[in-house]
Amino acid sequence: MSYLVDTDWIIDGIAGISNARTTLERLSPNGLAVSIITLGELYEGAYASDNPESRLATFQQFLDGFVVLGLTDAIMHTFAKTRSQLRRSGNIIPDMDLLIASTARTFDLTLLTRNIRHFERIPDLKIYQPS
């Protein structure tokens, strides 16, 4: 497993955005994972939709083959240490994003995200930016 996929790429992939689908297919042989936090964000979107059951089924089908990484003690240590550093430097980001980044760092994964503005603040976080 090499890549942790952020929520924005999952949503774009489900929407059929061609560069998202192509990128995910190209990276798939290296192993794709999502954080349990991403599942929570996707579920929130589903429950806010007109047809939650259909949305949930679509998400589950799309995510078949992705490894889902839950929160661990090691991730929470990384989260707390990084959040403390960001707070001291005045660069705090939303906790959900920080938990996703902490998951990537703990498992030494490269994060696939479009939210560069938040994630570039995380020291030692590898971010994949397709050309």
Answer whether 21's CB lies under 8 Å from 53's CB: no
The CA distance from 18 to 92, in Å, is: 33
Helix/strand/coil (H, E, C) string of 83-111? HHHHHHHCCCCCHHHHHHHHHHHHCCCEE
Please state the pTM of the whole predicted model: 0.94
CATH superfamily of 3-128: 5'-nuclease (3.40.50.1010)
User: Per-residue pLDDT for the chain (131 aa), expressed as one digit of tens each?
Assistant: 799 999 999 999 999 998 999 999 999 999 999 999 999 999 999 999 999 999 999 999 999 989 999 999 999 999 999 999 999 999 999 999 999 999 999 999 999 999 999 999 999 999 998 76
- Alpha-carbon distance 2 to 30, whole Å? 6
Shortest CA distance to 8 belongs to which of 83, 97, 78?
97
